[in-house]
Structure 1
Amino acid sequence: MNYRTYAILLLTLCVSLVTFSQNSTDKHYRHLRYNHVSPYIKLAGIYPISAKEALNSSHYTFTYNKQNQLTEVTNYHYATERRHPLASIGAYKTVITYNGNQETRVYLYVNGERVPNDRAVFKEIFTLDKKGNYAKLEFYDLDDNPMESNWGISNYTWKSYKKMIIEQRFNLKGEAKNLSSYFEFGTTGMTFRNDGTPIGKYNLNEDFEIVNNSAGVASYQDTYDENGNHVKYTYHNKEDDLVINPSGLAIGIKIYDDKGNYIKQQHLDTNGKLLRERDVPNNQNIRLSSIASKKDSLEIKRIALGYLKALQELNPVLMDEVLNDSLNKVTIGFNRSIRKEVVTSISREKMIENATDWNKSGTRFPPDPNNQITILDIYHRMATVKLYSDNWVEYLHLIKLDGKWTIINLLWQHKDVNRYPY
């Protein structure tokens, strides 16, 4: 896209924004209606809130024109939702325009620059049939050239057949593609409730008959509650019996709080027996860390002091224990060639080597080293420590992985500040 074309596009968007502000209606929703089925399903918000409540809540704003057409979706949703090419947007603003039987969506960052959505495409053009239903979707890059999504799909086609909508997907070569990169459904049939929520998605053969895929799955079926939450999904064979899918479950249960935040997931087998469950974190229901335990405090001190002791006592095994594999150790240095202070670093491997021979003479430290430690802060699995020794002042970051504390960041300088030019 050349500069003139881009400038015209931005001007058009700005004019459109002014027009929208004069002739538009905003509605605010806590969440998008979950959709893991198809882009055929219309964007919809659930859990409506007032404009006042939206000021201090994670939400989406839907903007409609006088014809009640959706023209913008502004993403103020900062909860830690799972990103999914069908279920999330991944852009600050979605701008939707209409021209004849086409609906075009472009995606913008906060500063107005165009960005890809969660399908990794820059523009989507839907073509509608005579009844106003989606018949085709095509993906484009910034230069308006056809492109493939992150699932290798360039376009979708849809048509009615009996009580189903038939969906097919193709790449840029015109080759048929599966429903997604991780789920083997080719040509598929979809059924819907009156409110637009999906009931089932079916794997079809060339005669549009329901058939099992190679894993023995012929359909997955969805249940939504009265609030629009996606609460259940199940996997079936062509006889409609429950079957275990490739991920090892037959039934998935999703549990929500009173504000529609997804808080728990359960997986069940074909008999409804619980296989596993887990809490789903989100920043709308935050559990703060408890006060650090005495055990953690003592271990943090041991690990932090262990770094000094490993140097002082020639103990490379201890040095290897206390340093994280991703250690970042830096200090202030002076580059003589550019006459400028710079940051210099020392590798983890060099530190282990130093613990082997750096103090072989026994003269690098006093006979009775003065190692002092202050724990500045501990939060859950992170800690900040200050070390004050005969030689250096150092700030350490520690991290707890698999129950073990190690030093991951280390910033140090000489205790004698006269060693520095300023």
Structure 2
Amino acid sequence: MKRIVDITICFVFLLLPLSHFSQSNNQKETITKYFRHLRYNHVSPHVPLKGIHEISKETASKTSHYVFKYANSNKLVEIVNYNYHGKRHHPLATIGAHKIVFNYTDHDVTRIFLDINGNRMTNDRAVYKEVYKFDKKKFIYALDFYDLEDKPMESNWNITKYKWTKTKNMVIEHRYNLKDKLVDISPYFEFGITGIVYRKDGSPKINYNLNEKLEIRENSVGVASYRDTYDNNGNHITYSYHNKKGELTLNPWGYAVAKQEFDEFGYHTMRLQYDENNKLIKKFKYPNIRKISVASPASVEDTLAIKEMSLGYLIALQKLKPELMKRVFHKELAKRTIGYDRDNKKQIIRETSYDQMVSFAESWNQSGTKFPPKPSNNIKILDIYDHIATVKLFSDNWVEYLHLTKTNGQWQIINLLWQDKNSSRYAD
């Protein structure tokens, strides 16, 4: 297997932008920029953080965004995370913390992570502090993770340090755990030593899986590289998986290519997955998160189903119908009431499980004396919104508030809070 020498891409070693290097943290001048998104990265923490889809301060006040603060015109000193649209968290692609603070020396840059109250917290890599080291030519050659006591710690991918070296065509990455053993790029993707090829704009183009001789090799499912394409706005529009010959091959999740579509503001609208023959196999359409679609009024069918399930709970108890009880209650049921602890002489909360309720439906009213001969079961639907509803039940014995949820087309009771109808039983 020959050493990689035939990569024809014009490669420029990745350096931290000039904004990352300064002899002082003196912030004589601060520039603030606002971005809707971060450039997506699933390659390496060696890839620099970059904001994309820049917006004005006024626009930022009305939408999800990131704030980048620079000192002395070009040195990144802080990123504030106001991205509240529920983006999927990824240890390489998202921040996780409310704020990143950057501190610089002549040979390293430290990142710490803060919550909304200014307290230290972990980021999406589950570490408290990151220290990037660079050489005299400003090439990043190491990253170390630390806990709150400045002791080395492992990330949620079992990595405590990264080491990078450069060849003519790529940046070579090694990752180590606390035992100083080499680990894969992540627990769910089998790439050991990797070789990153960058474009001139600093975006990653190819990530190779390499052996100790820095030769391309395939992992156990036949993947030897994955490749990324970004559009002019920085959107991550294509990623694909290849064997050592450069041919498309299936990844561990059963597809070879993913193509992504974005709206004018950089939000996902569509993802298309293809096999190794470029045949479409899956299509995902993302909801428009910029424009909330308010649910339509509840249908007659939903209203009747909610009433049926709510009353069904009482009927199951009264008429000994455990199968009905199984149907009306969700298995994650939380049923609670106020009880009394006689030993400690105070009111407490008592809980009843799904299994207990099914058992009660089998035998609790066998004698027929738990309810009047003609029970009074009354219901008032307080509110219905799309897949959730609130109901009030008042029967001969109890007053109850129910939460119902519609999953897989079926309404079920998931929360139930009740007390005895006779309020004199609860002496304050």
**TM-score normalised by structure 1 residue count:** 0.91
| Match among 231, 234, 237 for residue 231 of structure 1 | 237
Counterpart of 2:140, as a letter, is Y
Name the residue aligned to 2:346: 340
2:159 paired with 1:136:
no
**Cα drift, residue 244 of structure 1:** 1.2
| Match among 196, 212, 218 for residue 212 of structure 1 | 218
The CA distance in 2 between the partners of 1:384 and 1:69, in whole Å, is 53
The CA distance in 1 between the partners of 2:236 and 2:83, in whole Å, is 18
Name the residue aligned to 1:165: 171
Within-5 A mapping of 1:300-379? 300-379=306-385
**Cα drift, residue 281 of structure 1:** 4.4
The CA distance in 1 between the partners of 2:67 and 2:346, in whole Å, is 50
**Mean alpha-carbon deviation: is it higher for 321-330 or for 32-41?**
321-330
Name the residue aligned to 1:31: 37
Counterpart of 1:328, as a letter, is A
| Match among 386, 389, 412 for residue 380 of structure 1 | 386
- Deviation per residue, 1:121-174 (Å, 9 max, x gap): 111111112221211111111111111111111111112211111111111222
| Residue ranges of structure 1 left out of the alignment (5+ in a row) | 1-17
2:420 paired with 1:414:
yes
2:303 alignment partner, SS class: helix
2:264 paired with 1:254:
no
Counterpart of 2:342, as a letter, is R
1:111 alignment partner, SS class: coil
2:294 paired with 1:294:
no
Name the residue aligned to 2:204: 198
The CA distance in 1 between the partners of 2:209 and 2:415, in whole Å, is 52
* Cα distance change on mapping 1:419 and 1:272 into 2, 3 Å: same
Counterpart of 1:87, as a letter, is A
Aligned pairs, how many? Answer: 404
The CA distance in 1 between the partners of 2:174 and 2:271, in whole Å, is 30
- Deviation per residue, 1:379-405 (Å, 9 max, x gap): 222111111212221111112222222
The CA distance in 1 between the partners of 2:37 and 2:152, in whole Å, is 31
**Cα drift, residue 267 of structure 1:** 0.7
**Cα drift, residue 329 of structure 1:** 1.4
Name the residue aligned to 2:180: 174
Counterpart of 2:262, as a letter, is Y
Conservation of the 8 A alpha-carbon contact between 1:60 and 1:75:
yes
- Deviation per residue, 1:296-350 (Å, 9 max, x gap): 2211111110111112112222222212212221122232333322222223333
2:254 paired with 1:267:
no
- Deviation per residue, 1:82-119 (Å, 9 max, x gap): 10110001001100011011111111111111111111
2:136 paired with 1:106:
no
2:39 paired with 1:68:
no
2:312 alignment partner, SS class: helix
1:53 alignment partner, SS class: helix
Counterpart of 2:316, as a letter, is A
2:122 alignment partner, SS class: coil
2:49 paired with 1:43:
yes
Counterpart of 1:222, as a letter, is D
- Deviation per residue, 1:5-63 (Å, 9 max, x gap): xxxxxxxxxxxxx965x631110100001111111111110011111111121100001
The CA distance in 1 between the partners of 2:307 and 2:281, in whole Å, is 41
Conservation of the 8 A alpha-carbon contact between 1:79 and 1:282:
no
**Mean alpha-carbon deviation: is it higher for 288-297 or for 150-159?**
288-297
The CA distance in 2 between the partners of 1:285 and 1:232, in whole Å, is 25
| Residue ranges of structure 2 left out of the alignment (5+ in a row) | 1-24
* Cα distance change on mapping 1:113 and 1:389 into 2, 3 Å: same
Aligned CA RMSD, in angstroms, stands at 1.7
